[in-house]
Structure 1
Amino acid sequence: RMFDTDLPIRVRDLVGLSIEHGTMSRRRPRRSTIDAALAEVGASGLADRRVGTLSGGQQQLVRQAQAMATDPELLLCDEPLLSLDLSAQRAAVELLDRRRREYGTAVIFVTHSINPVLAVTDRVLYLGPDGHVTGAVDEVMTGPVLSRLYGTDVDVAEVNGRMVVV
């Protein structure tokens, strides 16, 4: 969901709101913490812009910075690749995978477009019109399983070492 174009808040302030504030001391988050979160997602140049003036992809990066700012143990990602171009999608997937590997962050990723995340996915819960299935990628992402979930023929092919659902 896009921020209202008239929302009078800067990116830096919005990311800062996601960081825990003290009641008596440290009432404002450290600027360096906010800047690090923005840098991690490649959004440093947006820090002083009003959030309502950003494109959909830029707003998505700001949301990612908000999520990363507190160094969470669990990331619940609902369509985090929405509005991002292919390069930014790749960068977002690499960032989430790096957080998972280096910090042990658990990542739950909800998407309608599974292809960008297949290479870094451990388990899949696939919801289809005719049911659901859970398992490892190679167990779930097969023609017969997806055909059953959709009630029609679905092909799963390998193209240049990547799985593609058609």
Structure 2
Amino acid sequence: MTERQELLSGLAVTVFRLNGQFLDVAEGLARPAGLTAAHWQVLGAVTKEPLPVAGIARAMGITRQAVQRIADILAEKGMVEYLPNPAHRRAKLVAPTEEGLEAVRRIGPAHAAFADRLCEALGDDRAADVHRLLGELSTTLEALAAEEHG
């Protein structure tokens, strides 16, 4: 294997591990509010504005089918509702209900405490650098995928 192949493999394994670690943290933060990490992820995507399922999937990097399943569960629990979409008759908008927003608010204090612990452990500047670099990696992977499919 070339050095670049080893680097790519190392990046992938590290990101996969990070994904698992973030999911574990998110599960722990969401559980006391009666949510799962997946529920919180979908609710979090629509707290600022209602989005169609496809928009949530794009923003979160998960499949439309997974988002639809989770949105349906959240709708059954009364945490989101489906609204008409003026831009697309068949693709309804997912919007949080007051109950859904309250569940997200209940996560806030523990979320803030964990954010403080993480930033204190890494340092604020280093945490910001990691965030920026992960964003650059994501944008680059997206561009490379578009080149292949475009």
* TM-score (normalizing by structure 2): 0.27
- Quick check: which has more Rg, 1 or 2? 1
Higher helix share: 2
Which structure would you say has the larger RCO, counting Cα contacts within 8 Å and 6 or more residues apart?
2
Higher strand share: 1
